[in-house]
Amino acid sequence: MNDRTDSPDSPSEMITRDTAPLNVEMPFSSLREFITPNERFYVRGHFPIPEVNAETWRLKVEGAVARPLELSYAELRQMPGQTITATMECAGNGRSFLEPKVKGVQWDMGAIGNAQWTGVLLRDVIERAGLQPYGIEAILEGSDKGAIKEPPRPAGEIHYARSIPIKKAMSNVLLAYEMNGEPLTPDHGYPVRAIVPGWFGMASVKWLQRVTVTERPFGGYYQTIDYVYWEERDGFPTIVPLAEMKLKAQIARPSMGERVPAGAEYRVFGAAWAGENEVAEVEVSTDGGSNWSGAKLLGDPVPHAWRFWEFTWKTPSKPGKHRLIARAKDPSGQTQPAERNANHGSYMIDHWLPIEVEVR
């Protein structure tokens, strides 16, 4: 269908952005399966991958609960389990598109994946400990740890930790031990990780070791200094922790810089997602955003999962450069912004991401 060397039908290599910590993404142009194979699911780490022994692993549940408890891996697996499908996007996915450049892993578009996760509902675990009515957040702590380099930073080493509102914690958050039917690998949080459906990946804490229900908002490093954005509140720019994924469509094919045959039919293909909402529509522009056409949504909608889409582009007969853009809409008609919101810092890259191609 095109002349790229990294044809989607060949086993395209994953792209390693960092080795310490390990940060790996899928070449998004190789998108094919609705369920991302485990070895093609992006990996984002903050510290060295901890070696955890499932035999001795314990999950502590404490804080604003009636009966603080510790669960072993065997006990967790004996609790009623369930399997959910959930798409997870790194909050910095698409960062390589930002101008001017910002600090952080220079993710292209592949820091996203969709998997089937099997585990126990966090709700069931918290209920076993007895939620106190004054608990307002649940802090999820991983066993990964290290020192923060730049101030403002706490002293010494810290564990990766994020909190979620208690309402979300008591709904559909999963403590997962399987990914696509296989035990988690160390890269993906073995033995147990959180899955927070609809939220950016930073909430789905890996190598989970502690759940602390709190009476006040959590002010940890990854809640206040990193993984935050700015929002106007009460007339002042105010820091807010990242949470839900934003409405977003990405073009997998053609890929950036691809040469596309003139006077032909080309299948533009990609995925779209909407956090806790639904994708109602995807539109494609082949002229940099002036005109838009509806794309065809593929398959059936799955809650918290991406939706694949396609669009047949009748390419011009004359050679030339073209900018392809896809944008998603939710059921209320909301769509993606054309321009970058500078208050998003280095995160939530949900504006139009043009793919430049050459027709010839």
Residues within the interface to a copy of itself (CB under 8 A): 62-63, 102-103, 139, 141, 151-156, 158-159, 161, 210, 212, 214, 216-221, 224-226, 228, 230, 233-240, 341-343, 345-346
Q: Give 167 or 216: the residue with its C-beta nearer to a copy of itself.
A: 216
Least CB distance to a copy of itself at residue 125 (A): 18
- Whether 271 and 297 have beta carbons less than 8 Å apart is answered as no
Least CB distance to a copy of itself at residue 154 (A): 4
Q: Give 51 or 150: the residue with its C-beta nearer to a copy of itself.
A: 150
- Whether 130 and 69 have beta carbons less than 8 Å apart is answered as no
Least CB distance to a copy of itself at residue 133 (A): 17
Fill in the amino acid letter for 187.
Answer: D
Among 97, 114, 95, 91, residue whose Cα is nearest residue 32: 114
Sign, CA dihedral 204-75-217-133, equals positive
Fill in the amino acid letter for 23.
Answer: N
Q: Give 17 or 210: the residue with its C-beta nearer to a copy of itself.
A: 210
Q: Give 157 or 265: the residue with its C-beta nearer to a copy of itself.
A: 157
Phi, psi torsion values for 74, nearest 5 degrees: -65, -40
Residue 231, both tokens: 């929002």
Q: Give 63 or 110: the residue with its C-beta nearer to a copy of itself.
A: 63
Least CB distance to a copy of itself at residue 86 (A): 26
Q: Give 81 or 146: the residue with its C-beta nearer to a copy of itself.
A: 146
- Whether 253 and 268 have beta carbons less than 8 Å apart is answered as yes
DSSP symbol at 125: H
CA distance linking residue 185 with residue 38, whole number of Å: 9
Least CB distance to a copy of itself at residue 214 (A): 5
- Whether 279 and 328 have beta carbons less than 8 Å apart is answered as yes
CA distance linking residue 216 with residue 136, whole number of Å: 7
CA distance linking residue 309 with residue 1, whole number of Å: 17
Least CB distance to a copy of itself at residue 349 (A): 14
Q: Give 64 or 357: the residue with its C-beta nearer to a copy of itself.
A: 64
Least CB distance to a copy of itself at residue 318 (A): 40
